[in-house]
Amino acid sequence: MQTSRYIVHIDMDAFFAAVEQRDNPLYKNKPVVVGADPKAGRGRGVVSTCSYEARKFGIHSSLPISIAYSLCPRAIFLPVNMEKYLAVSRQIYNILNTFTPSIETLSIDEAFLDITGSFYLFGSPLATCKLIKEKIKKETKLTASLGLAPTKMAAKIASDICKPDGLLEITSEKLLDFLWPLPIEKISGLGKKSKEILNERGIRTIKDLAQQKKDYLVSIFGKSGEYFWYLANGIDNSEVMGAHEAKSISSETTFEKDTADEELIRRTFLMLCEDVSGRLRSDRLKARIVTLKIRLTGFKTYTRALTIQKATNFVDEIYKTTRTIYNKFISSGVKGASKIRLIGIKTSNLIPQDERDSLFDEKIDQKKESMHKAVEAIKGKFGNKGIFRAAEID
């Protein structure tokens, strides 16, 4: 059982919807749904997130937008404004960096922090968490839920339990008391099929799982069985990984109607590349590999990847690489007459932004960096419509 680590899981409450409610007083205390256009119940796509007022109607993230509309037609449905959310996210991560350099970014609004080596600067681990919450609320007018525990899994469960605007501390002495009554599906990585297998054997709680022999679980699940046993017994040595250790950054979208419109596809590529580039730059990362995901009518899905000559986080480079992959995919004849349902872009093989691949392109990089910073400054001041590329003009 862990005894000396202090891991924090922070999750912003209904992030996209909360930002919209903050910025528009008319949305306050109203059911707000951020995601695809519902088109009066005929829209495609899903809910990105929703306010707690909307959740009372059964609406939740990843729910088809048409169902969300049927559950609450009077809700305020808003499009995703990723530029705005990224700007707020950068503000939040800047705050977190004042408490610890050990931050693992899980998403735009969720992270793990290891405050083991820094909490003493702020008093105690719990006092540090209180200060984090207070600073976020003061500077962004948004609320966050925090779980503090000796392990990553316990910290995440704790933050989930105390939402919204909560703070829950699980001490090492109380770790098993906290974990053992919980259902086994709370174990990280234990999915629906594994749950069914264990339930058939009368194993329903984490305590039930912890009291099994390790070899018995290995005989059922292989190496994963040993992993489940350790987690159930409060043993988790997984580290909080810094941003430079992130494996990939990706973005995808589902078209409202399956499409063969090359202009729409091109514009969507550009939108996704803007999103991925913004997130890479926010985390001060650049990528060596770009992967394109294409799902056709009938749900047949293809992925194609390309390693680029020089790691980048510049949107034009990511877009150019994406177009190259797409053109090769089309010329291969695999697509045929099929229409496209979904496209996604993933960047991987990430390295720190300041790490150089070559000294020869330094001047070109500085020029592009200056251009990106100028665009980001304008968007930060005037919003997403403050500046846009000529290719985006409709």
First-last CA distance in the chain? 59
**Residues with Cβ within 8 Å of residue 288, at least 6 apart in sequence:** 307, 308, 311, 348, 349, 350, 351
**Residues with Cβ within 8 Å of residue 205, at least 6 apart in sequence:** 180, 181, 182, 183, 184
Tokens 């174990």 sit at which residue?
A: 187
Tokens 């005989």 sit at which residue?
A: 219
**Amino acid identity, position 124:** S
Distance CA 267, CA 28 (A): 33
Q: How many Å separate Cα 70 from the centre of its chain?
A: 27
**Three-class secondary structure of residue 110 per DSSP:** strand
Distance CA 13, CA 29 (A): 14
**Three-class secondary structure of residue 175 per DSSP:** helix
Query: Catalytic annotation on 226?
Result: no
Distance CA 22, CA 256 (A): 29
Eight-state DSSP code of residue 95: H
Annotated catalytic residue: which of 53, 83, 110, 169?
A: 110
Question: Which residues are part of the catalytic machinery?
Answer: 110
